[in-house]
Structure 1
Amino acid sequence: MRATLKIAEFIMAAKPPAAARQRAATALCDTVGVILAGASEAAAKIIRRTVVAESHGNCRVLGTAVRASAADAALANGVAAHAHDYDDMCFVSMAHPSCALVPSIVAAGEITGASGSAVLDAYIAGFEVECCLGLVMNPRHYHERGWHCTSSIGTLGAAAAAARLLGLDAPSIVHTLGIAASLACGLKENMGSMVKPLHAGMAARNGVMAARLAKAGFIASEQSLDGPQGYLAAMDSQKPPSALADAATDLGSRWEILDSGIAVKLYPSCAATHPPLDALLGLKRRHNIAADDIAGIDVEADSMTPRLLIHPRPSTPLEAKFSMPFCAAAAIVFGHPTLETFHMEKIGDPRIQKLLPLVTLRANRDFDPAAHLSQANVTVRLKDGRTVQERADGARGYPGRLTDDELSTKFLACAERSLTHTAALQALDVLRAIETRSDISDLTQLCSTVSESQGVLERDFIERKS
């Protein structure tokens, strides 16, 4: 109980430093972009045609003219955020933090009329809670037991962020976390399917629901997190539940968002592919490597990577994002992977199919002491007898490496899949100054600026389904 109460007190009263808010603003900008990119994906459309069609409320589903309840808008925006697997990563929680946190704070922010600075502080509170849990639970929870931390840990982060914006007191936040703990789930076996982005949406939705239930007086066990049959025990935490108290002592004095940070993705594929892709693209540029030159591509990475990249011969775009052979082949054939790279016609391209069996992936345990998914060694064997090799230590989007130009370019490319160019530029301007905005609806309104005909068509379709 004491550890959970300490976490709750942090959520309620944390005062993040300016540098932490800057990191959170970057995450918000990146995630709003990927939500707008994902709004047109099949998984996001199915959610809107089913769950959202039955919903009533005034919270915006970004990239559309649809409105829904806070929880259902969080669900829809969370699924869209993770639909392309283009959203950011945290290597402490081992989660995609923002695809649940941002939909949660946007929905909770809309119903409370929260300012931009309040939304950023809520994001940070949720992020730090996820890292606190990740330090106790990982690597076993994620690496060995098959839990997808984006949902299994992200649900509690989303709940913490929503509770902060709803203005809950510490005892109510304890109940919020207890409710969220019983709603947390997510299985890695579903990677490469539509269920993976559903994990993000459900984490966001359940986080908002947990906070709203607690605000209304819903009661959970005060030992939901660290009790003998609580969350940490049931989720097979690396460390015993008693370790939560030690992890919680750092909250507010050390900021994980600054120490380990958030990794922004510059390729729309599993984060485990990014260090190898950086290395391979570098070799391709320097040595002018073409598909017909290649006798083999050998990728070495840490022992976690092969457990994530589980589709050596992908048959769908979602599987291709978790395929080292496809991502490597696509980098050689098409160059820098983009959203368009992961289309069915690209998977079936004869040049890709010819390269797939030439790509190998193996674990090198010498890489395991470093940060997860950060190390790779890529060797390209050429038909003329040459062998070229490159080592990667991290990826280009990792904390401290992302440039403002890279963030803006990614945002506009994503946002313009749902918005006009003018609206995308306006949204980017608001995001760049989000801390000064008095109401988060300044942003959400811009991100719902779809053409009237598109909005009418979607509303009519949803009404017919309902």
Structure 2
Amino acid sequence: MVESATEPGATEVLAEFAVSGVLASADHTEAVTRALVDTVAVSLGASGAEGDRILRTWARRESPYGPSTVWTSGETTTPSMAALVNGNAAHLLDYDDISPSMPLHPAAVLMPALVAVAEARGTSSERFSEAYEVGSAVFRAVADVLPQHVHYARGWHSTSTVGRLATVAALGRLVASDVDTVRNALGIVASLTAGSRVNFGTMTKPFHAGAAARDAVMALELAEAGFTANPDELDAPNGFLERYGDQEVAPVGSAGQALGERLEYWADAWPSDAGLKRYPSCYGTHRSIDAMLTLRETAPLAEMPTRITATVHPRGTRALRPGLPATGTQGKFSLEYTLAVAWLRGDVTLDDFTEERFADEEAQALLRRVEIGESAVPPHGPAEFDTGYSVVEVTFPDGGTQVSRTEVTHGLAADPLSDDELRGKFLDCCAAGGYDSETADRIIAAISAEPGAAFTSSIPKRSTE
């Protein structure tokens, strides 16, 4: 992907899109608002969790003052530190937004950074929504150009790696930056890119989202102050696209051309590729959970299955942890555990990942009867499928079986959560984090009235002991 002398490179294309790229003519404010409601919900649900408490305590020692609110405590700190702590909280429960076409959690990185900077600089809700749209498009376009399936297979956590670039672009639009500043900020943040999938199931996975948000804020602030970087970082020899992607299987054409085409597409299409999670576990478990719950409606519940088989599309198990889980947190990335819970309890909830519920003898026994595989051809139903599928088959003691297949999980754009379901999720998360329903409804109302940073005035100040 070598650029011609007259054709703009990928870094320039991305910076220009960030500053002045044309977005969709359709009004996506509702999609942005719902994404913010969801992100704040799952962040508040993580309040007081060990991973939140440790990082928040450290952040307070490092930066005890500033204009930006820490959502899980109500205290204030610098924009970059608020982005770090809030991004970590947003991803901590693994209950945050999804991109069904690729393994991304855009809002968990974008929202904490945008809110922190918008709060510090007094940005309008209109500008905030526009900036989120920029970031949503860039997230997916850069992932396409790498391409993401190669990047992810190498062990990179795309939410963290691609998220840094997408969030710099979003912040560039938020603060009405110029192209040169954004190009330098992209060069800075690309040098900080990291995040490994081997850390899934530990406190470091959600930290990836927070670190990406923090690095994006820091990169923009440094670039605004005159700090320099290679303005062609993405497409330079040994640059970002070469280091983290594979030019042999990337889209045809130059990097700049391919990125421009994908940005144009995703600027309009990103809402169709967004989803809000129904279950607080890795998205790789959701189709199978849905299939199990559907199967359960007609199955003989008095009979304990002797075998459960889950077959998913190729690469459908990549986001999951190999082997059986040893902790509740690891259970979020286990198809064995989530399917056992879905069968036994008729739902998968936040409580199911507490250590007490995880240690339940029935669940531990049943998860050992779960077998998982991948197949390019579904073993049940039509051979064709869109972005993915799961087929769950349950075998009973008498040898009888029941089968269920799911392609579209509830919560995606094609089958979205209703407003009542989203409010219910918010209330459940607030209860988990120790907030009452009045506080929850006050925050929801503030976000719905003005998507942006205004809701932070409704975050209660809590004890930081």
TM-score by length of 2: 0.91
Match of 2:4 in 1: none
Q: Equivalent of 1:421, from 414, 417, 437?
A: 437
CA distance in 2, matches of 1:274, 1:253: 27
Mapped pair 1:381 → 2:395: yes
Contact 1:63 1:419 in 2 (8 A): no
Match of 2:242 in 1: 233
Q: Deviation at 1:434?
A: 2.5
CA distance in 2, matches of 1:201, 1:288: 44
1:256-314 residue CA offsets vs partner (Å, 9 max, x unmatched): 54464212110000001000000001111222424x43111100002323322224421
Bigger shift: residues 87-96 or 24-33: 87-96
Residue pairs, 1:13-32, within 5 angstroms:
13-14=20-21, 15-32=23-40
Q: Deviation at 1:84?
A: 0.5
Match of 1:50 in 2: 58
Change (3 A) 1:441 1:130: closer
What residue identity is the alignment partner of 2:62?
A: E
TM-score by length of 1: 0.91
Secondary structure at 1:266 match in 2: coil
CA distance in 2, matches of 1:205, 1:198: 10
Q: Equivalent of 1:113, from 107, 119, 122?
A: 122
Contact 1:63 1:418 in 2 (8 A): no
Match of 1:307 in 2: 318
Secondary structure at 2:392 match in 1: strand
- The structure with the greater share of residues assigned to helix is 1
Secondary structure at 1:300 match in 2: strand
Q: 5+ unaligned residues in a row in structure 1: which ranges?
A: 462-466
RMSD over aligned Cα atoms: 2.0
1:302-355 residue CA offsets vs partner (Å, 9 max, x unmatched): 232332222442111210001111001111122211111101111111101110
Q: Equivalent of 1:272, from 284, 303, 311?
A: 284
1:231-273 residue CA offsets vs partner (Å, 9 max, x unmatched): 0101133417933422313534653544642121100000010
Contact 1:162 1:211 in 2 (8 A): yes
Q: 5+ unaligned residues in a row in structure 2: which ranges?
A: 1-7
Q: Deviation at 1:92?
A: 4.4
Q: Equivalent of 2:203, from 194, 197, 221?
A: 194
Q: Deviation at 1:65?
A: 2.5
Q: Equivalent of 1:67, from 73, 76, 89?
A: 76
Bigger shift: residues 25-34 or 232-241: 232-241
Contact 1:183 1:206 in 2 (8 A): yes
Residue pairs, 1:207-226, within 5 angstroms:
207-226=216-235
Match of 2:18 in 1: 11
Residue pairs, 1:2-401, within 5 angstroms:
2-14=9-21, 15-55=23-63, 56-92=65-101, 94-237=103-246, 238-239=249-250, 242-252=254-264, 255=267, 257-258=269-270, 260-290=272-302, 292-366=303-377, 372=387, 374-401=388-415
1:200-251 residue CA offsets vs partner (Å, 9 max, x unmatched): 0001101111111111111111220011110010113341793342231353
Q: Deviation at 1:21?
A: 2.6
CA distance in 2, matches of 1:274, 1:395: 7
Q: Deviation at 1:182?
A: 1.0
CA distance in 1, matches of 2:385, 2:15: 32
Identity %: 32
Contact 2:341 2:348 in 1 (8 A): yes
Contact 1:19 1:258 in 2 (8 A): no
Aligned pair count?
447
